Structures are given as structure tokens and as C-alpha cells.
Amino acid sequence: MKHVVFLCLILLLVVACGPTVAPATSSGPSARATDTPTPASDEEAILQLLAAEAEGVVQQDIDRLMDLWAPDSLVTDANHTPDDPSDDLVWKGAEAIKERYLVIFQSFPTQAAHPDVELTISGDNAEATTTTTIGIDMAPKGDKWTFVKIEGRWYITSLTFNLEKE
């Protein structure tokens, strides 16, 4: 019996001297984190949209990328001849734009960014000219984007790239 009492005392001592754990507190359900902070302005929202597009390319996240585009959007490769639309390549609509991204993914870009943006906003429409880098390729002021605000959210409506003359 002495052994049982002795073991109980040791157990009590171990429990009493062990680490304390604070009781869990709950202040209701926790908020889900968003991909980007809520923008303070239309300019910030569009810059976040461009950043999300670049991140989506690197992450090869086709669902995220397609969520950035408005219905009936358009991507145009100006083929370095911005004054001659006859040699342009055009991707119109969601499926065509998705196929274009899937081709980009084949080059496994490890970096994409739009480091230099000139933005003009007019009501629920906006235009931007950007320098774009994907991997080691850089197009200084070679991309033109258009955007539309639908029900309080900005979407890409078009991208024309390879505007710089060779």
C-alpha cells in the first residue's frame, strides 16, 4: 500500500510541476484569410489584380487566373508590329485565354511581374501600360491592359502584348 501512495504522490508532483496550458478561448468563428487585402482604392485593386495575374502564372494556377478575367475577354499578340493588326494573334473568350496560359505554363516560369505600371481610371473602366517580366523575358512598356469594374470588383478585359517594335 505504501508503494501505491508513493506512486500517487510522484504522479501528483509530476502533474503539478508540468507545463501549464492556458484554457482555450473562443471569440466566435475565425475569419477566413483573403488572398489579398481589401483594396483602399480602385488603383490599389487594379494593381492587386496585376499582381495576382503574375502570381497565378508562376504558380500555374489556371482557376485563379481565369477568375481574374471578365467574360468575353481578349488577348492579342501584336507581334512587335503595333501599327499592323494583320499579323496579330488573337485569343478571344475564356477557353482561348485558358489555352494561352497552358502554353505559357510549359515554359515553367519561375518569376513574373509587372514592375512598371502607368494606370488611367475612368469610372468603371481602366487602362494600364506595363513593363512585364516573365522568367528572363522583359517587355518594357510592351503590354497594354484594359479593365472593367463589375458589381464592385475589377476584372481584366483585354491584354495586348508585344507592342514594342523590334
Alpha carbon 108 to chain centroid distance?
17
Number of C-beta neighbours around residue 101 at 10 A: 19
Number of structural domains (the chain) is 1
Whether 22 maps to a domain, the answer reads: no
Q: Determine the pLDDT at residue 8.
A: 35
Q: What percent of the chain has pLDDT over 90?
A: 58
Rounded-to-10 torsion of CA 65, 68, 73, 75: -50
Q: Determine the pLDDT at residue 23.
A: 39
Whether 3 maps to a domain, the answer reads: no
Whether 113 maps to a domain, the answer reads: yes
Going by pLDDT thresholds of 50, 70 and 90, the confidence category of residue 10 is: very low
Alpha carbon 121 to chain centroid distance?
20
Domain coverage including residue 154: 42-161
The model's pLDDT over 62-87, given as tens digits with 9 standing for 90+, comes to: 999 999 999 999 999 999 999 999 99
Strand ranges of the sheet holding 89-92, from the earlier edge strand across to the other edge? 89-92, 69-77, 153-161, 137-150, 125-134, 112-122
Q: Determine the pLDDT at residue 89.
A: 95
Whether 21 maps to a domain, the answer reads: no
Rounded-to-10 torsion of CA 139, 144, 145, 146: 180
Which residue has better confidence, 6 or 109?
109
Q: Determine the pLDDT at residue 37.
A: 65
Whether 156 maps to a domain, the answer reads: yes
Mean pLDDT of 155-160: 97
Whether 95 maps to a domain, the answer reads: yes
Task: Note the pTM of the prediction, 2 decimals.
Answer: 0.75
Whether 131 maps to a domain, the answer reads: yes
Tell me the CATH number at 127: 3.10.450.50
The model's pLDDT over 26-58, given as tens digits with 9 standing for 90+, comes to: 344 433 333 556 788 999 999 999 999 999 999
The model's pLDDT over 116-137, given as tens digits with 9 standing for 90+, comes to: 999 999 999 999 999 888 877 8
Whether 5 maps to a domain, the answer reads: no
